[in-house]
Structures are given as structure tokens and as C-alpha cells.
Amino acid sequence: MSFTNPLRRIGSDNLRKAAIITSTALLPRRLRVARRKARLGALEVDIARRSSLIIIAHPKSGNTWLKVMLTRLYSRRHGIPEEDFARYPALADANPAIPRFAATNGWYSYERAVGDKLQPGAADSELRHKPVVLLARNPLDIAVSWYFQFTKRQSGHKQELINAELAHPVDRHNIGMWEFVRDSDIGLSSLIRFLNYWDAALDNLDHTLLTSYEALRSEPAEVLRQITGLMGDSFSDAELNEAVEFASFDNLRKLESEGFFRSGGLTLRNASDPESFKVRRAKVGGYRDYFTEAQARELEQLVRSELSPRLQTLFGLDRPQEDAPAAPAAANP
């Protein structure tokens, strides 16, 4: 298989998204936001409808990393040339044997269109019967990475859409780490609400898997086996290990810094600023490096007082930190 059609190098859904953004660029702000939210929301639902798996994850929880590993599994099985993997999000458009994966937070702006269809009490739809993975992550680690994402990588149109729904919009040029994490409308308290929201929603869906970034870091092959099993597929140990090796931190960091990826979340933004990289640190518990001891304790207490018990167990927060292993995935077949 080779990308002979230039449009397929981008991917049809990316083209549709770009057309929505471009065609609304000159509208007054309020109308622009409303149009984009409605039209991008409809596109998100359509992508989820055509996908074999829905991945729910807050930004900076490993969803791009997971999609790379899953796409790698299927692309190797179906003989996709190495050079074409540089545009991995478009592979499903070019080869119907490659599954489509819908990664969404189901929470912010237009992505809430998918989230609303998966919530308890929502009207029945085919989305409710698809395999759904909640890829959770300790909100303390999300918070730090989310700060760098929002202030250094987030597209202008997405920032505008998120800020349009906040009581106190976030100015990425004039906000520090502590203020963003502790006090902003998209800081730690919001992250905890997001995780609790989706933790509760899973119990009302047909085929679900609750897993974590931490489990994906410690046992990536096993988590991939569980996710592909939820999809009704199986892969050998050799296939799983090859995908894990390709998507290792060192290799993805190297490929991103070299500009290997030509589309998707791993495209290089600013080679001179390591904190702007999509593959940034991949460190579990790394949030402590950015706060004083007193600040870290305050944030940890907030998580322990507000995060759901199931998620606290998943992250090992119900036991002493040094004794807390990464929790295994929990499936609802």
C-alpha cells in the first residue's frame, strides 16, 4: 500500500476539520465559536460512529501514545510500509483493514458531543454498544503536562473553544504553573471532576475497560492485549512487543525530534523547546519536580479528598506512595 492520493496523506477527517476551521475563521467570535462547536461536535460523533474503539482520555493521559501502538499492531499485520506510518492517523482512510480509533476527552467544547451520548440516561445509540476504554491518569501528573500542553502546544482555535465555556478564561501567555494547576477553571479540581464523571459513566456502557497511563507504562503489552481483546482481536507476544518497542519513550522522542511524523499529535512544533514536545517526560509521579513540598502536599490532599474510591485504588493512592504499584486494567466485557 502506498499513499498515491495526496489528500490521503492528511486523512479525510483532518481535511473535514480543517475545512470547518478555515470556513469559519472570519466570523465574529461568538458566531465562530458556536459554529465550530456544532460542526466539530458532529464530526467527532461521526468519527466515533465509524471507529472500532472509543478511547476516553483527558489530554496528556497517553491517548496519542496508545493510538500509535494500536495502529502499529494493525499496520504491521497488514504490511503497511514503514514510510507510510509517518502519517499513521490516515492509514484507516487508505486501508480498510486498519481499524479507526476515536480518541476523545468527551468533556471540553465540541468533544462533549461524544461524551453526552455515552452518559447514563442518554438515548440509545450505536456508540453506547462500542468498545470503550477509559485511559485514566493520576490527575496530579495530568495537571503538569496539561499546563505545558495548553500554554505551548494547544492550537489557537481549540484554546478559544475551551476558553469560551470558562467563567475565567485562561491566558496562556500570563499564567504560571501553580496558578494554572491550583486555581484555574481547567486545573486540578476540573481534572478530578473529569475523571469522576467518566468513572461513573463506564458502569452504564456495554463493553468497557478501565485502565491507566501508569499501567500502560509498567505493562504495555498486557494492556494492549486487553484492549485488542475487548475489540475481539488477538496478537502474538512478538507482535505486541514490536509495537511496544516502536512506541517506547526513547524511540518516539527521537522520531518526534526528527520530524518523522507528518500528521497527528506527534508532529513537531518547536524543536528548540523540549517542554513543547508531545513526548515530553513520560514520568510517573513527575509532578513533584514542579512544586514545593508544601504545594505538593496540598494538591495530594485535594486528590485524596475528591477523587472517586475506585480511581484512588487504580492509582494506588489508598496505600503508602512507595508501596503503590500500577493497577491492572479492569474490564467489563
Let me know the angle formed at the C-alpha of 27 by 26 and 29, rounded to the nearest 5 degrees: 110
In the chain, domain spans: 6-138+193-269+314-332
CA-CA distance, 296 to 226, in Å (whole number)?
A: 33
Residue pair 262/86 in contact (Cβ under 8 Å)? The answer is yes
What is the per-residue pLDDT for 104? Answer: 96
Sign of CA dihedral 29, 18, 122, 159: negative
Which burial class, exposed, middle or buried, applies to 290 when counting CB atoms under 10 A from its CB (0-12, 13-18, 19+)? middle
pLDDT in tens, the chain (333 residues): 444 344 344 468 888 999 999 999 999 999 999 999 999 999 999 999 999 999 999 999 999 889 889 988 998 898 888 777 666 667 778 788 889 999 999 999 999 999 999 999 999 999 999 999 999 999 999 999 999 999 988 899 999 999 999 999 999 999 999 999 999 999 999 999 999 999 999 999 989 999 999 999 999 999 999 999 999 999 999 999 999 988 887 777 776 665 555 544 444 445 555 544 444 455 778 899 999 999 999 999 999 999 999 999 999 998 765 544 444 455 554
Distances in whole angstroms, Cα of residue 211 to Cα of each of 161, 206, 241: 28, 16, 19
What is the per-residue pLDDT for 333? Answer: 45
Q: What are phi and psi of 207, to 5 degrees?
A: -130, 100
CA-CA distance, 186 to 154, in Å (whole number)?
A: 14
What is the per-residue pLDDT for 204? Answer: 93
What is the per-residue pLDDT for 277? Answer: 45
Q: 147 by DSSP, 3-state: which?
A: helix
Q: 97 by DSSP, 3-state: which?
A: coil
Select the CATH number that applies to the domain covering 6-138+193-269+314-332 from these four: 1.10.720, 3.40.1350, 3.40.50, 3.30.1370.
3.40.50
Lookup: cell for 79: 504490511
Q: Which pTM does this prediction carry?
A: 0.85
What is the per-residue pLDDT for 322? Answer: 53
What is the per-residue pLDDT for 171? Answer: 96
What is the per-residue pLDDT for 118? Answer: 96
Lookup: cell for 42: 458532529
Q: Which amino acid is at 18?
A: A
